[in-house]
């Protein structure tokens, strides 16, 4: 039997590319997101035997519960959870930011990710088999102006991933945090800048950023490692992105 994976945020960007790659690797994939029509298009493209569209908003725990309960029996035994759903909103300084944006990021990047993980872990522990791959960010390690709550939420994901490994010691369940840097070909910046496509496009001009398929290939590589190998965390940047000196402001 094929292994079953569940990928959140599967309607576009990283999630869509991850679904496509996992299907090509031989997985059956539960593709979860809010936009059902996009999931249905993905199923039509990849096949009903390979993709199961699951509509849910991970910020709403009742929707998560109902969606998981609705899965047909042959799709319930999830071996691989890819917590891809996440977002950034705004790039304002903390003292100017919209607090409702902060709450949306917290509810998506932290609450939704942890709740879904908590719901699926017990069945993995019972079978003593499974893998959780979380999508973090370099922003969880490298601070920058305007990242405030977004960066903090991704730092949470990094530490949560490592602590899951500690809790799961003695089991065969593996946990990885993937930390991408600048990546184009997704809706990330369009969402962050609230539909300002011109501003989003300028961010990537000439940058030769990494692409969704690069992240999908990374997920595939991690999932394909032997059972005795755990990739704790992996940071990925385009060659064009690097590190700079710490600024010193003088008066």
The tens digit of pLDDT for each residue in 172-194 reads 999 999 999 999 888 877 888 78
Could you confirm whether 150 is annotated as catalytic? yes
What does the pLDDT look like over 2-32, one tens digit per residue?
Answer: 999 999 999 999 999 999 999 999 999 999 9
The rounded distance, in Å, linking the Cα atoms of 119 and 207 is 39
Catalytic residue among 95, 144, 150, 249: 150
Structure confidence at residue 196 (pLDDT): 78
- Asked which of 67-76, 111-120, 185-194 is least confident by mean pLDDT, the reply is 185-194
Dihedral sign, Cα of residue 145, residue 58, residue 101, residue 87: positive
- Are 121 and 171 within 8 A, CB to CB? no
Residue with the larger pLDDT of the pair 206 and 80: 80
Helical H segments across the chain, by residue range: 13-24, 36-46, 61-70, 99-105, 113-127, 148-167, 188-192, 197-204, 212-223
d(C-alpha 157, C-alpha 150), whole Å:
11
Distance of CA 213 to the CA centre of its chain: 14
| pLDDT tens profile 141-168 | 999 999 999 999 999 999 999 999 999 9
98: helix, strand or coil: coil
Any idea which architecture 4-236 has in CATH?
Answer: 3-Layer(aba) Sandwich (3.40)
Is the CB of residue 223 less than 8 Å from the CB of residue 21? no
Q: Determine if the pTM surpasses 0.85.
A: yes
């Amino acid at each position: 039997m094929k292994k079953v994976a569940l990928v959140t945020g599967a309607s576009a960007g990283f999630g869509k590319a991850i679904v496509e790659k996992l299907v090509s690797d031989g997985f059956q994939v539960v593709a979860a997101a809010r936009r059902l029509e996009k999931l249905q298009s993905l199923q039509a493209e990849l096949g009903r035997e390979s993709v199961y569209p699951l509509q849910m908003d991970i910020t709403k725990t009742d929707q998560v519960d109902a969606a998981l309960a609705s899965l047909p029996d042959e799709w319930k035994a999830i071996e691989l959870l890819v917590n891809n759903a996440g977002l950034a909103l705004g790039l304002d300084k903390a003292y100017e930011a919209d607090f409702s944006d902060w709450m949306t990021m917290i509810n998506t990047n932290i609450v939704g990710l942890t709740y879904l993980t908590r719901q699926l872990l017990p069945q993995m522990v019972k079978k003593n088999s499974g893998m959780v791959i979380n999508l973090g960010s370099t922003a969880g390690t490298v601070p920058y102006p305007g990242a405030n709550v977004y960066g903090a939420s991704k730092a949470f994901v990094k530490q949560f991933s490592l602590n899951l490994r500690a809790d799961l010691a003695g089991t065969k369940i593996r946990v990885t945090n993937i930390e991408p840097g600048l990546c184009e070909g997704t809706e990330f910046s369009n969402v962050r800048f609230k539909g300002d496509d011109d501003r989003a496009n300028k961010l990537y001009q000439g940058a030769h950023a990494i692409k969704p398929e690069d992240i999908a290939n990374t997920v595939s590589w991690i999932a394909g490692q032997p059972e005795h190998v755990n990739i704790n965390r992996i940071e990925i940047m385009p060659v064009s992105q690097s590190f700079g000196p710490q600024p010193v402001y003088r008066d």
